[in-house]
């Protein structure tokens, strides 16, 4: 599938056979750092970069640099067995290059850490074109509700590994991976209601889907 530069895509993949690929905070944090590092086209490997002194400060500079990025992250959510991104392709082949870099980097890290071999991800990553602003807004809600839909937390604010807090908190508390201000007009209080008012509804949809598959 040839992706178009300037377009926005819902990007998702899961582990092989539901294998748990994020086991603890250090695993989640590692993947987030890899994401931050490879937003820009980078010939250096993250496994070398993170050995440098003060690499976290250098990573923050990469995130906030004016350097043109190959992708822009609009939203994301990491779950124990899978991930969701909403990405805008900023350079030709940017999304494919970004995905190749982050998946290979994390696989190397995971296999070394847990003394395993072989692939970690289930086939090709799905990339679905987002065709309208309305679809995009609803997609961010779906993604941010994933942890509550799976009963990992009771409220999306409790999940540390999504972009939800970037949407509902003022900038400055932490590194913001996402760039959505020029794409979505987010009113914090309205967006909170937009998301949290449908927690039970999205859970019920998942139950219906699961019953249909039984």
Indicate the domain borders of the chain. Answer: 8-213
Residue 183 to residues 7, 49, 72, 88, 119, Cα–Cα distance (Å): 11, 31, 11, 10, 35
Q: What is the pLDDT of residue 123?
A: 84
Question: Would you say 180 and 186 are in contact if contact means Cβ atoms under 8 Å apart?
Answer: yes
DSSP-assigned letter for residue 81 = T
| CATH architecture classification, 8-213 | 2-Layer Sandwich (3.30)
Residue-wise pLDDT tens digits, 13-59: 999 988 999 999 999 999 999 999 999 877 788 888 888 888 888 88
Percent of the chain with pLDDT over 70: 92
Mean pLDDT of the chain: 88
Quick check: 130 and 8 in contact, CB under 8 A? yes
Residues 39 and 67: their CA atoms lie apart, in Å, by 10
């Amino acid at each position: 599938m040839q992706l178009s530069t300037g377009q926005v895509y819902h990007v998702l993949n899961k582990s092989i056979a539901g294998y748990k690929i994020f086991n603890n905070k250090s695993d989640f944090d590692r993947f987030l750092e890899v994401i931050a590092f490879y937003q820009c086209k980078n010939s250096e490997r993250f496994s070398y970069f993170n050995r440098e002194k003060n690499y976290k400060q250098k990573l923050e500079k990469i995130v906030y640099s004016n350097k043109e990025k190959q992708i822009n992250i609009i939203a994301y959510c990491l779950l124990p067995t899978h991930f969701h991104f909403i990405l805008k392709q900023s350079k030709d082949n940017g999304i494919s290059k970004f995905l190749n870099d982050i998946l290979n980097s994390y696989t190397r890290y995971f296999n070394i850490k847990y003394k395993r071999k072989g692939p970690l991800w289930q086939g090709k990553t799905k990339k679905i074109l987002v065709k309208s602003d309305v679809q995009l807004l609803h997609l961010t809600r779906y993604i941010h509700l994933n942890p509550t839909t799976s009963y990992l937390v009771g409220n999306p604010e409790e999940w540390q590994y999504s972009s939800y807090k970037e949407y509902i908190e003022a900038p400055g508390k932490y590194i913001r991976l996402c760039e959505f201000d020029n794409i979505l007009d987010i009113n914090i209080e309205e967006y909170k209601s937009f998301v949290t008012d449908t927690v039970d509804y999205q859970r019920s949809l998942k139950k219906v889907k699961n019953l249909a598959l039984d």
